Amino acid sequence: MTTPEERLAELGLELPQIAKPVASYLPAVRTGNYVYTSGQLPSVAGDLVAVGKVGTGTGSSVSPETANGAARVCALNALAAVRGLVGELSSVVRVVKVVGFVASAADFTGQSGVVNGASDLLAEVFGPAVGAHARSAVGVAALPLDAPVEVELVVEVTGV
């Protein structure tokens, strides 16, 4: 059976270093068999892959397609935070919940399509049995550092 880390390699992806917090919080915490990540921004080597609001009208600077890709980056950063606590992603027995925040232009209603970037990545890495999850996709006025998207995860892991 292929491990999640092997699946990432097959997809041409690798987990980044754990993103440094931009405020007073931890990247992830574990309680019992659950790991909760803090909201992860779409940063690569400390730089955001996109900035601005998502939409197609006035006041938007990020396309929904670009934001979808940014949500994938957020999910990779969240997985790095999980691995930092549990050692390897094979310890994940279930992705329980994904919450995605999308900095949206006032008339944009495609938040779910943006957050699909994170959901689809998780399904590709863990498969449908482990990667299928509950989810919220929420439009917001602004996100830290003018990021277009932020993603947090709740995952269940093997025993303590």
Tens-of-pLDDT digits for all 160 residues of the chain? 799 999 999 999 999 999 888 889 999 999 999 999 999 999 999 999 999 999 977 667 899 999 999 999 999 999 999 999 999 999 999 999 999 999 999 889 999 999 999 999 999 999 999 999 999 999 999 999 999 999 999 999 997 6
| SS3 state of residue 9 | helix
pTM score, whole prediction: 0.95
Residue listed under structure tokens 């993603």: 151
Q: Which CATH architecture has domain 4-12+31-140+152-157?
A: 2-Layer Sandwich (3.30)
What is the torsion angle, in degrees rounded to the nearest 10, for the CA atoms of residue 139, residue 143, residue 149 and residue 150?
Answer: -100
* In the chain, domain spans: 4-12+31-140+152-157
